[in-house]
Amino acid sequence: MKKILVPVDFSKYSEYALEVASKIAKQHGAGIVLLHMIGVSDSVLANSEIAEEAEAKYYLNQAKEKIKQYTEKEYMKEIPLEAIIQNYKDFKEVNTVAQEQHCDLVVMGSHGTSGFSDLFVGSNTEKVVRSSELPVLVIKKQQRDFTINKMVLACDLKKENIPIYKKAETFAALFSASLEIVYVNASGGNFMGRDNVEKRIELFKKELNKEINVNLYDHYSVERGILDYCFKKGADLLVIPTHGRKGLSHFVVGSLAENVSNHAELPVMTIKL
């Protein structure tokens, strides 16, 4: 791993993400790219009127000062660091910056519903997840002792998830962590008999051409079953595939039942199919 991109909005959640990114960077000798998107309208940037020009400079200077405060954090010492302040038009630009900077991972903070709460509108974590070609590690609370010993990949065991497993396996090796797959068999229209599930498991192993640990977990809800399984197994990181359509919200939105909502604060890595 050479570079980690950390989009920041200067909220406590983006600082949680930066602290985790710093720990990963130190473990693997990687650098960090800080990205802040100021969101000043094109009319302000293009207009030469004194008041509007002053407004643009104000936002830019504020961002530079806050970026500087981040770089001076104790946990950022001895980490190669670059800072990019960019006026955003579309959240796909996060992926563009990640590609241009040759990053290997995006680490970002989210409070679970609207992501970058202070500056942007909507579920922006989800927008980044949808568009990112890189794995995205989502951090939802402060991780003072961030370690990954056990990773759980939740998927439906279809052939398209083979590359997802291989990428997750690469990250597991990077963190010296164990990796297991869980298939949640939810009650309802998509419920499958155990024999059919076991056939799907065997087909997945055959396509992968490797003997792996796959667990079947019966639950009334796929989303809640995934989180419940991770809690019972003591998982440090949940990995889920995304098609670039449903993104993250399908699994970890704040509307989950109270009995598993605390466990939804588990770090989540999304990998695009």
What's the pLDDT score for residue 61?
81
- 3-139 and 150-272: identical CATH topology: yes
Query: Which residue carries 């990949």 as its tokens?
Result: 153
* Extents of the domains making up the chain: 3-139, 150-272
What's the pLDDT score for residue 9?
84
What's the pLDDT score for residue 116?
34
What's the pLDDT score for residue 22?
95
- Give the span between the Cα atoms of 92 and 104, in whole angstroms: 16
Region 126-133 average pLDDT: 80
- Show the 3-state SS of the chain: CCEEEEECCCCHHHHHHHHHHHHHHHHHCCEEEEEEECCCCHHHHHCCCHHHHHHHHHHHHHHHHHHHHHHCCHHHCCCCEEEEEECCCCCHHHHHHHHHCCCCEEEEECCCCCCCCCCCCCCHHHHHHHHCCCCEEEECCCCCCCCCCEEEEECCCCHHHHHHHHHHHHHHHHCCCEEEEEEEEECCCCCCCHHHHHHHHHHHHHHHCCCCCEEEEEECCHHHHHHHHHHHHCCCEEEEEECCCCCCHHHHCCCCCHHHHHHHHCCEEEEEC
- Give the span between the Cα atoms of 236 and 23, in whole angstroms: 15
Give this prediction's pTM.
0.84
What is the token pair recorded at 181?
């797959």
> What pLDDT digit, counting tens, does each position of 169-184 carry?
999 999 999 999 999 8
Q: What percent of the chain shows pLDDT beyond 70?
A: 79
- What single letter denotes the amino acid at residue 232? K
Task: Answer whether 243's CB lies under 8 Å from 273's CB.
Answer: yes
> What pLDDT digit, counting tens, does each position of 186-209 carry?
876 566 777 888 888 899 999 999
What is the token pair recorded at 86?
């960019």
Does domain 3-139 fall under CATH 3.40.50.720? My reply is no
> What pLDDT digit, counting tens, does each position of 55-83 carry?
667 777 888 888 888 888 899 999 999 99
What's the pLDDT score for residue 52?
58
Q: Identify any residues that bridge with 180 across adjacent strands, giving them in sequence order.
A: 152
What's the pLDDT score for residue 262?
39
Q: Which CATH class is domain 150-272?
A: alpha beta
Evaluate if residue 260 carries a pLDDT over 70.
no
Query: What letters, b where the CB count within 10 A reaches 16 and e where it falls short, cover 113-128?
Result: ebbbbeebeebbbbbb
